[in-house]
Amino acid sequence: MNGKMKKPLPTWLPLVVGAFLVVQFAGLGAWQISRGLEKRADQYAYSDETGFKAWQDGMAVRSFQRLKASGSYDGEHQIVLDNIIINSRYGHYVLTPLEIAADQPLLLINRGWLEKTDAGLDAARLELPAGELSVRGRAGSLPKPGYKMDDAFDATQPWPKHAVYPSPEEVAAALGHEIQPFVLLMEHDEDHGFLRHWVPSEFGPGKHFGYALQWFAMGAVLSGLLVWNYRKKRFDT
């Protein structure tokens, strides 16, 4: 035979690769536990029935915390979030900036959901009273897409601007003003709102804990196989 015999793989290579995978499985399990604990905290915060805490710029805020903010609506610069599906129907969320003070970032108020119609959105439905007011709600965030392809805003569009899953940075750029790091989800009995049904993610902590158990189980099985293979090779030699 003219061909050369291939050298066998080093005996230590499967052990190193296997150990690397075990570490990865453990890391994924730990991450799932962390996410599960975050979701559990969100559920506890959502079920908290204590009163609304007066919010001030710079105050630490936790998810779904009940807050009350004071300021004046900027009804001239509202944002309509498209492609929001509720009960299998397409519609929009309406985001309205609340001006707290001239030198402070704007607080975005999510006033709720409007169903999409063939006639389009009537801007008159977005009108708001002028002057100082208080609004109650829960601390939330902008909706996040599973996958995003294009820019959120059409730069040539007049106000109110339509957007598809904008990031906080894109919203701030469109408004030409800094915004607070959270969105206030307007309480269901507040005036000047639309359909509001704020709930934590349906992907609850139990699923994260279940996935963590699967990752840890895979790591344990692989560890057992590595130990068995190592001992077998030792005894064979």
142 and 94 within one domain: yes
Q: Tens digits of per-residue pLDDT, 182-237?
A: 999 999 999 999 999 887 655 567 777 788 888 888 888 888 887 777 677 666 65
pLDDT of residue 223: 84
221 and 182 within one domain: no
- Rounded to whole angstroms, what are the CA distances from 44 to 38, 65, 104, 167, 205? 10, 10, 30, 26, 11
Higher pLDDT, 19 or 151: 19
pTM over 0.75: no
Q: Is the pLDDT of residue 114 over 90?
A: yes
Q: Tens digits of per-residue pLDDT, 90-110?
A: 999 999 999 999 889 999 999
90 and 180 within one domain: yes
Q: Tens digits of per-residue pLDDT, 45-88?
A: 666 666 789 999 889 998 888 999 999 999 999 999 998 988 88
Question: For the chain, what is the domain count?
Answer: 2
Amino acid at 186: M
170 and 78 within one domain: yes
166 and 69 within one domain: yes
Query: Is 6 within the bounds of a domain?
Result: no
pLDDT of residue 73: 96
Q: Tens digits of per-residue pLDDT, 161-190?
A: 999 999 999 999 999 999 999 999 999 999
Print the domain residue range for 96: 65-186
181 and 92 within one domain: yes
Query: Is 193 within the bounds of a domain?
Result: no
pLDDT of residue 12: 67
For the chain, percent of residues with pLDDT exceeding 70: 84
